Copies of this chain bind each other. A is one copy, B any other.
Amino acid sequence: MNFLSVITYSGIFIFALTGAFKARTYRMDIFGATVLAFVTAYGGGTLRDLLIGIRPVNWVNDNIALVLVLSSTTITFLFKLDYRKFRRTILITDALGLGLFTVAGIEKSLLSGINEFYAVAMGVITATFGGLLADILCNSVPNLLKRGELYATACAIGGIVYVALKHTSLTNNINLLICIALIALIRFVSKWKRVTLPEI
């Protein structure tokens, strides 16, 4: 396993934990929490793969993914983790996950012959639509669509810069780091300075 997949699996674990936490907020049982953890971690990539036409979708037969999702639910259940104690950690790891998922979504899309505009859109979908699907399962208006801090916008800007830098002589690794740093920066500034998109 290479460096990139280690970090990607970390992102998956973080996203799965977020899903399990959400299930606690909605007082679901451990089966519901497992579904929510899975959907949060894999929903975005699944939608991307369905739209592009990759089959089977990425996580099928990936036993590491299965173990990570089940662990996230088990840990949340056994230790009755309190989301509020980890807010700062989650903000940072979530921003890292967003960056990695955005780039992973863009690269996979470009490889499938998707053009650059739609590849950025697929990157944003990969990073953010898992949480949106989980919100739908919880019967709440997806946070992603409501007015609030920059989230999908951060991914979109990071993704556009990533695709633009691919036309320069920068290596993909440096490009990846710039994209992740940019997304994290926008997230943190948006959080601290309460920057939001205007209402339609």
Contacts and interface: CB of A to CB of B under 8 A. Distances in A.
Which of A31, A51, A114, A198 is most buried by chain B, counting CB atoms within 10 A of its CB?
A31
Given A137-B142, A147-B28, A200-B28, A60 B66 contact: no
Given A52-B55, A52-B56, A53-B55, A36 B145 contact: yes
A61 B52 CA distance: 10
Interface residues of A, number: 54
Interface stretch (A19-27, A98-106, A161-169): A19-27
B117 A66 contact: yes
A141 interface: yes
B32 A145 contact: yes
A12 to B, nearest CB: 16
Contacts of A118: 60-61, 66
24 contacts: A20-B200, A26-B141, A27-B146, A29-B147, A29-B200, A30-B200, A31-B152, A31-B153, A32-B144, A33-B200, A35-B144, A50-B50, A51-B57, A52-B55, A53-B57, A55-B55, A61-B113, A63-B117, A73-B200, A136-B137, A137-B145, A138-B141, A139-B139, A139-B141
Given A30-B197, A56-B112, A136-B139, 8 more contacts: A26-B145, A28-B145, A29-B199, A32-B145, A52-B56, A66-B118, A73-B200, A139-B140
